[in-house]
Structure 1
């Protein structure tokens, strides 16, 4: 026993000696760095989180006074759990020519109408990426334990498109970013998904992943444990009945419950002609997460349509309030009778799903009734000024506390009238103007507007707006509105008291920047693929046997670098590179390509020859020649598309 104690003492002293030597060595190294003037390295060393095992680096931020953010969509909007400020992160803006993706973060004090920006590193270069989450949009953001968590999303410019799968955490006490190192099966790179907080878990559902030639939609469930930092994937194949793959669903945790409500969404499916057709989903589901607590599978339950559900639409926004799920806005795209043009109907109405009785209701304004619809020729006045849509300042907004509170259990949700909705035909350009909304009087060409009592203000119909709740008041911020071929990015903010339901109040008017739109040059935009990819033979199959020469289709490195994503998409469409029957896979030989698609080419030959060829060997030979000719013709294009796809895959992994 005595020997063992002496041995323990020696080991303890040796460990203490090594620790002192290590500290002495580190201090000496830091002094050398400081003497050499490398202050940035010292700040980096001091910024390590000692409690994270040395793997996660905390990136400290500064807070500065700021103007309101520039217009953007697909941002995230969360309420600060302590100060009540609105936290806005990321988003994108398209001006008709260029796409900008943001990584900046703003705090908005609504009561004081003050804006502050949370910046990383040098204040003077706050607009440039210097750490933290990369620029993105269509991501998800949640608040948990006084931290803001950012997950996934996409980065999109003219020449680049990536999806993210990373998870970032912003400490809202000291404003430091930290990438969360997780274990388990995390969600694959995606955007358009949804994430909600349930107990101490994050639940992720849906989304999509675009690889230029293929868009994949998801319906799997991922659960993240904030205590163990571990992901669990629940595959949809384990269910007999569950929502089909989709993105852009409306998803919210039912208050004081283990159930999550899911509504709608959007996806594209292949029709019989191999074309992708957009599908707007209008089904509703519950996910009961309680079994997961005992290592069981969450339970899907389809909800029947009762009451007055919203019309089919996508791009809506949802929040949870008491025992209600409240949805605002959206759009429905539909072809005309000839199938030549796409019509869009935008909405600015509010619908409620009552969780307890599983019924839908449309919210009406208790002070006013309005019915206002625009379809076909009933377009907004083309001579109106977009800057006049909203001229109210916050201090001019009417007081929303002038009616007696109505309890949410009262039957106030019965439909008595519809809010306005705009139907805009994309083929009709409305120049650079939008409807005029001045002091509550909306000027519209050839439309009938009926007001009861006094005039009324309403937010413009829109999609993909921010939506958040403060007390009993709903706020909507920004969004997208289409006028002809113009995408108008809105940056106004409106509020609506869900108890009073008397009126919409404009908190933040539209900025002048919302009017900016650059008309694209059709010669360079729409025909860029023709400029680089024109050839004397437009056929995909016919002509003499290929001599394997690529000189006709060769592109220089500079030409390849100049090509935008739009040009690549045009090439894919023109040469049908998204059709697996007509396009070899990457690194697939001609023989492998033919064996995989042999039935397709044989069927094509038989249709062309009308049964004139009866010999089986001759049929196979002709089919093989046709497949090889197709592969030779599109080889350069496949390589070019693969270059874009490989760049995306390399970034995402």
Structure 2
């Protein structure tokens, strides 16, 4: 009987969670429609991009408010946003910007949210002066209690027009106020990365796309948090450094800033192995763009004397990740935790495989290790425990492929990671299935001190096919049981 009571309480909890998730999804969908009206996502005729950007700058000013914070549902699905842990406490994270593609139109966001991990509550922050809508930007936390945002891009709904920013903004957490910084900055770009070291924030790479040409950067910049000034660091011509790229991972530890992976597009004929042997054949078939996914790793030795900064290429050691784009990394104590990413298979007409596996990079020994989080207890585990045994002997091996299980985050790339109160918090990202792309807004938490299991804090607005199939199978099984029961009754 006690067992039945536990099951009854569990069923009640599941129904309550489903009801809460349904309500949140409905609110998220409503918010998405509102955003679409505001940002032109439902417009049949596309406006000039410069006019759109000016309109965004006036939206909140017309409201006549300085700052307004209101409780809200979970943010709508998005990727390539910034998701940053507050430097003032161990319970708050900030989400800014991002983008969502619904299969036909792109929507770029300029909204700001605050999330309280202890209360599992979202708040929307509206300011009279704020950065314009963008994705692919970078936001980092200053120890003094501010957030620094640089660059990013805005694209129209049809993605026919692009605008790359080179503005620099600071958000005062205590005052909930944005301020645009004056003075010279790095050139306009998105897909760059920034990492903090001492009083400096270091920026590397990124790309610029004006719809006609695409340029990938390999320049290094340093932002001084005491003078609020940018300085370009020119390396000696003969020194080695990472190639131009965007979308890589960038994180600091000790006197080093580490760079891993990334992505760039190059003309295939620039590769000596594919270039034409005839100099006059300018229209060679190989003169086309080719995406390159990097898996190399570099360490930048830091110094307060910027002329002493130096790149060092590291050898792969341990269970290094395979070449993937869109991986995400967050640092916890003496290790960097990597999640997911996407692999494109050119031999299968460009089909992609999204991953949800994890790796850790030990910063003290510079070595990669598989990271396998504890899994949530299943019914088999409960039965085994009550019988005095265990459902599995020894640690669980790393998965050989993507795992489709409702107890762990769905495979994805460009997920947003932050570490707060020893928890890895993951929000949103992208998932590809065949030719379809899905943007997510689920939120997951993983206790890194206890090595899991994953906790789904909010399911999000997208129902995973694997979960739907499981529901259908369960429903079919229940119907079959009822049919068998009816047949048994009839035979009696």
TM-score, L = length of structure 2? 0.71
1:369, distance to aligned residue in structure 2 (A): 12
Q: Does 1:356 align with 2:364?
A: yes
Instruction: Determine the C-alpha separation between the residues in 2 that align with 1:142 and 1:365.
Output: 27
Please point out which of 76, 84, 99 is paired with 1:70: 76
Instruction: Determine the C-alpha separation between the residues in 1 that align with 2:426 and 2:122.
Output: 17
Change (3 A) 1:295 1:151: closer
Instruction: Determine the C-alpha separation between the residues in 1 that align with 2:462 and 2:244.
Output: 39
8 A Cα contact 2:161 2:211, kept in partner: no
1:212, distance to aligned residue in structure 2 (A): 2.1
Could you say which structure has the larger radius of gyration? 1
8 A Cα contact 2:352 2:433, kept in partner: no
Q: Does 1:166 align with 2:194?
A: no
User: Over aligned residues, Cα RMSD in angstroms?
Assistant: 2.5
Report the counterpart of residue 319 of structure 1 in structure 2.
Answer: 330
Instruction: Determine the C-alpha separation between the residues in 1 that align with 2:377 and 2:316.
Output: 26
Report the counterpart of residue 418 of structure 1 in structure 2.
Answer: 399
**Secondary structure in 2 aligned to 1:228?**
coil
Q: Deviations over 1:191-225 (max 9, x none)?
A: 00001121111110110111223211111110011
Instruction: Determine the C-alpha separation between the residues in 2 that align with 1:472 and 1:419.
Output: 27
Q: Deviations over 1:213-246 (max 9, x none)?
A: 3211111110011222221112356352111100
1:187, distance to aligned residue in structure 2 (A): 1.2
Report the counterpart of residue 450 of structure 1 in structure 2.
Answer: none
Instruction: Determine the C-alpha separation between the residues in 2 that align with 1:140 and 1:416.
Output: 35
Instruction: Determine the C-alpha separation between the residues in 2 that align with 1:514 and 1:349.
Output: 17
Q: Does 1:229 align with 2:242?
A: no
- Which runs of structure 2 are paired with 1:107-126 in the superposition (5 Å)? 107-121=114-128
Please point out which of 273, 283, 291 is paired with 2:296: 283
Report the counterpart of residue 183 of structure 2 in structure 1.
Answer: 182
Change (3 A) 1:414 1:260: farther
- Which runs of structure 2 are paired with 1:511-590 in the superposition (5 Å)? 511=461
- Bigger strand fraction: 2
1:295, distance to aligned residue in structure 2 (A): 4.2
Q: Deviations over 1:230-272 (max 9, x none)?
A: 2111235635211110000100111xx1210110000111112
Report the counterpart of residue 332 of structure 1 in structure 2.
Answer: 343
1:311, distance to aligned residue in structure 2 (A): 1.2
8 A Cα contact 2:202 2:222, kept in partner: yes
Change (3 A) 1:365 1:118: closer
Report the counterpart of residue 268 of structure 1 in structure 2.
Answer: 265
8 A Cα contact 2:92 2:420, kept in partner: no
1:416, distance to aligned residue in structure 2 (A): 2.6
Instruction: Determine the C-alpha separation between the residues in 2 that align with 1:502 and 1:103.
Output: 33
**Secondary structure in 2 aligned to 1:500?**
coil
8 A Cα contact 1:491 1:514, kept in partner: no
TM-score, L = length of structure 1? 0.54
Instruction: Determine the C-alpha separation between the residues in 2 that align with 1:359 and 1:191.
Output: 30
8 A Cα contact 1:70 1:513, kept in partner: no
**Secondary structure in 2 aligned to 1:165?**
coil
**Secondary structure in 2 aligned to 1:68?**
coil
Q: Does 1:147 align with 2:146?
A: yes
Q: Does 1:101 align with 2:101?
A: no
1:148, distance to aligned residue in structure 2 (A): 1.2
Residue segments in structure 1 that go unaligned for 5+ positions in a row: 1-46, 48-58, 122-130, 371-397, 399-412, 423-434, 441-456, 516-653
- Which runs of structure 2 are paired with 1:194-273 in the superposition (5 Å)? 194-235=193-234, 238-254=237-253, 257-272=254-269, 273=286
Please point out which of 469, 473, 478 is paired with 2:428: 478
Change (3 A) 1:207 1:69: same
Query: Which of structures 1 and 2 has the larger relative contact order (alpha carbons within 8 angstroms, sep 6+)?
Result: 2
**Secondary structure in 2 aligned to 1:296?**
helix
Report the counterpart of residue 131 of structure 2 in structure 1.
Answer: 133
Change (3 A) 1:107 1:366: closer
**Secondary structure in 2 aligned to 1:280?**
strand
Q: How many residues align?
A: 368
Report the counterpart of residue 528 of structure 1 in structure 2.
Answer: none
Instruction: Determine the C-alpha separation between the residues in 2 that align with 1:64 and 1:361.
Output: 42
Change (3 A) 1:362 1:283: same
1:500, distance to aligned residue in structure 2 (A): 2.2
**Secondary structure in 1 aligned to 2:331?**
strand
**Secondary structure in 2 aligned to 1:219?**
coil
Residue segments in structure 2 that go unaligned for 5+ positions in a row: 1-60, 270-285, 383-393, 466-492
- Which runs of structure 2 are paired with 1:388-537 in the superposition (5 Å)? 416-418=397-399, 420-421=401-402, 440=406, 457-511=407-461
8 A Cα contact 1:489 1:514, kept in partner: no
Report the counterpart of residue 156 of structure 1 in structure 2.
Answer: 155
**Secondary structure in 1 aligned to 2:308?**
coil
8 A Cα contact 2:194 2:202, kept in partner: yes
Instruction: Determine the C-alpha separation between the residues in 2 that align with 1:482 and 1:495.
Output: 22
Report the counterpart of residue 391 of structure 1 in structure 2.
Answer: none
Instruction: Determine the C-alpha separation between the residues in 2 that align with 1:349 and 1:231.
Output: 37
8 A Cα contact 2:67 2:177, kept in partner: yes
